[in-house]
Structure 1
Amino acid sequence: MKTSVILIVAIFINTSLLLSQPILVLAEKINSWVLIAIELTLLFVWFAVKTVRELRNDLEIDLNDLEVFVISGKKKVSTKNK
């Protein structure tokens, strides 16, 4: 969750740098293609983090309900080796 929020904020800030004229006037020396490349990289990283998190959640194995040795009845089982 923290990584996604940070990436979304970074994407928003980068987009505002691209779209707002007053900030671009202050940052004249920054090439707009660099900002576009950074934004595309941020979008790719956000998508990769989201995909890996969903994949990890989908592939998680839950063995809580697994009953390997189920013994029914009132018979006591002896574990002593004779």
Structure 2
Amino acid sequence: MSVFTGVIVYVLIWWTALFAILPIGTRPDAVGDASTGGWRGTPERPLLMRKILATTAVSAVLWIGVYALVESNWISFRSGWFALPER
């Protein structure tokens, strides 16, 4: 895996993990505050920095797993069941 491919894969994993982690621990505001522009149902405390750090950590672990899988011969398109037929 080249550096460019590794970065692209990490970004894709990061965004996917972010959308999976965002709803964890959020509680909607039942009343809402019209004077500040808060709507009913918006999170009271979204804790975005914690979620970004958690997303980064989870993404790093998942990326290491993807990197190990790509670099190993366990799944290979050059030999084995997934190999393309020779011409």
TM-score computed with the length of structure 2 as normaliser: 0.37
Larger radius of gyration: 1
**Relative contact order, higher structure (CA 8 A, sep 6+):** 1
Normalization by structure 1: what TM-score?
0.39
